[in-house]
Structure 1
Amino acid sequence: MKHINITGRGSFLGISKELLVLKEGKELVKQWPLRRIRTIRLMGDGMSISTNLLSECAHYGIAVYIFDFRGRPLIQISGAHQHAVVELRKHQMKAVDSEVVSKIAAKIIYGKVRNQRATLLYYAKAWSEEPNRANFLIDAASEIDRFAQIIRKMEWASRVDWQSALLGYEGSAARVYWQTIKEQGLMGLDFPGRTGRDADDVMNSALNFGYAILTSFVWSAVTQAGLEPYLGVFHANRPGKPSLILDIMEEYRPWTVDRIVMRMRGRLLENRSLTESTKKELIARIHSQWAKPYPYRKKRVRLEAILQRQVYRLCGEFAGNKSYQPYLFRW
């Protein structure tokens, strides 16, 4: 199943005989069979899409995502016939209001911190012929792992302040992670550090764009499972904020986005801005990552399928009949 990403201003998406049609002006650029599409993503401003296509997307179960020019998700469109299961969402709501929520949050954040560690060790291995730089990364990874073990061993359910304490350890690990990336030039020598959504440097812009792509992968998996995307476990629940999507994303950010952006740093820094061509290359690399098989329960499984299975296991944790464990990447 394909994920279609459109980035060009002036692009038009329509339908012709069960084919998704992409046009630029009057010129036909490309077409794809609808039956082979899983999601459509409009990444930026100045594009249009026909209502006939939206109707067919609903029929085929194709989700449509619209992002703003900064890569922030604005709209998610899906058909009226979703996979929402009333009992599952009742379990989700009950779990979020119980002590179980602290355990689930700790598992997700533990997974994120461990995957930050794995990302640094991946580069330490790549720099094996530069022992000083490799050892610096190994030391930072060990410091990050110290926070991970605190998160794993703490009895969070017994703490009234579990959320602030847990996010404090997450923040401490993140400071080590991003400071190490900055000092070792993994995002380039002029990288200012992680500056968030309103960044204007090319590396942070690429990270934000990559996280937007990750958002749609996670949203698709959550919708397929039937969970409520706006009811999360540790991101604040506010109107219009897909808190559960943001929660689940945390585990996958370091390996599936940060690592890929680091690998593209030469190309990105050469252009000094996130151009149309670098966006397309970043999309292609991230898609390739999600199509790649990884070890999962003694098998080799595509990463996108692993994400879906992990979301189903989270459903089981909410219902009380399975134990959720984060997916840890190996370097």
Structure 2
Amino acid sequence: MKKLLNVLYVTAPDTYLALDGENVIVRKDDDIAMRLPLHNLENIVCFNYQGTSPALMGACAEHNIGLCFLSPRGYFLGRVTGKIKGNVLLRKKQFLISENEKESVKIAASFLIGKISNCRRVIERAIRDHGLIIDRFELGKASASLKDTLKTIPNCTRNDDLMGFEGSSAKIYFKVFDQLILQQKDSFFFKERSRRPPMDNMNTLLSFLYTILANEAASALETVGLDPYIGFLHQDRPGRPSLALDLMEELRPVFADRLALSLINRKQVSGKGFLQKESGGVIMDDETRKVVLKEWQERKKEQIVHPFLKERIDFGLIPYIQALLLSRYLRGDLDAYPPFFWN
């Protein structure tokens, strides 16, 4: 089983990363702010503009350490990867299936079933825990509609139909999402999904978490030898990690949405940590970003019983296990890809 190693998040925009022997060093001005052994790291995620040294990029590629660059606002800029590794036959099978709509739809449907099921679980958990202060009728109606959609998806034979159900289920889910925000309603509310740029505090928080999740999904796929840019649900587009977006669909409600709601309802973040630009877009300040990343890492340490493997694992290993199960399906070791269902 893959060990859950550390992820280094570099949030200060005025820092520079370099290599010193077998250590990564974080420089701020002329001082060394941090030094960490490379062998303790799984990923490095940079929110800075100064970048990293070529030597560190090479070392990360050689040691299979993910190196991802985001803007200070959390927009994806790029990833550094090393030599292509893994089973070439596995990647060839991935490419062949991606070009076969009949076979591709089978996998895409599993991703979507996992996503909608987990969205329903988020809603049902809210009804159970906060039924006295939320509109149980509206939430129950949304859950029932999502359940009806789940019954239809296995009969789909076209990717366009699946994408249609993905869009309609997202509308149902996000229509009641505002009711799941129980605290700080003046600062955090949800009317509709907005991105590039997000136009309110809630969308900014969600977009930030989705970006982090996409990076971890891409790293997980690369670890098992799959190409994160060749997808089954999301169609290929230059520069878009389509398979990483596929994989994260079933994980969004569990990893990102629940964490965002917890951060707000527990008042771990506040509206003061979000700034509206002249363009109308909203960004997080540095301190709020640090709080979010700290809680993201803490959540990954929690343990659950994986619904398919029936083994107790760290929460943060879920993307890697799902990537492994996908690879096993592509190799013919499993009859179908088992999506992750949150219990």
Partner SS, residue 246 of structure 1: helix
Mapped partners of 2:99, 2:137: distance in 1: 44
Alignment of 1:163-182 (within 5 A): 163-182=159-178
1:10 to 10, 14, 19: 14
Do the aligned residues in 2 keep the contact of 1:92 with 1:319 (CA within 8 Å)? Answer: no
Give the percent of matched residue pairs that are identical in Structure 1 and Structure 2. Answer: 26
Instruction: Give the residue type in structure 2 aligned to 1:325.
Output: P
Corresponding residue pairs, total? 321
Deviations 1:154-207 (A, max 9, x none): 2x3xx3xx2222122221211111010125545845433211232132211111
1:76 maps to which residue? 79
1:121 to 124, 129, 132: 124
Partner SS, residue 251 of structure 2: helix
Mapped partners of 2:272, 2:148: distance in 1: 36
Partner SS, residue 31 of structure 1: strand
1:246 is aligned to 2:256: no
2:271 to 265, 269, 282: 269
- What is the TM-score of this pair, normalised by structure 2? 0.87
Ranges in structure 1 where 5+ consecutive residues have no aligned partner = none
- What is the TM-score of this pair, normalised by structure 1? 0.90
Mean Cα displacement is larger for which, 289-298 or 220-229? 289-298
Mapped partners of 1:175, 1:2: distance in 2: 36
Partner SS, residue 313 of structure 1: helix
1:21 maps to which residue? 25
Judged with a 3 Å threshold, the aligned counterparts in structure 2 of structure 1 residues 195 and 62 are, in CA distance, closer, same or farther, namely same
Mean Cα displacement is larger for which, 269-278 or 101-110? 269-278
1:95 to 94, 97, 115: 97
Mean Cα displacement is larger for which, 224-233 or 265-274? 265-274
Mapped partners of 1:33, 1:168: distance in 2: 47
Do the aligned residues in 2 keep the contact of 1:133 with 1:184 (CA within 8 Å)? Answer: no
Instruction: Give the residue type in structure 1 aligned to 2:301.
Output: A
Mapped partners of 1:241, 1:205: distance in 2: 20
Alignment of 1:57-76 (within 5 A): 57-76=60-79
Partner SS, residue 177 of structure 1: helix
Do the aligned residues in 2 keep the contact of 1:127 with 1:133 (CA within 8 Å)? Answer: no
Do the aligned residues in 2 keep the contact of 1:124 with 1:135 (CA within 8 Å)? Answer: no
Q: CA deviation at 1:293?
A: 1.5
Structure holding more helix per residue: 1
Instruction: Give the residue type in structure 2 aligned to 1:175.
Output: K
Instruction: Give the residue type in structure 2 aligned to 1:177.
Output: Y
Instruction: Give the residue type in structure 2 aligned to 1:283.
Output: L
Instruction: Give the residue type in structure 1 aligned to 2:95.
Output: M
Which runs of at least 4 in structure 1 moved beyond 3 Å after TM superposition? 132-136, 183-190
Mapped partners of 1:59, 1:97: distance in 2: 31
Deviations 1:271-305 (A, max 9, x none): 33311111111112222222222111222111232
1:313 to 304, 325, 329: 325
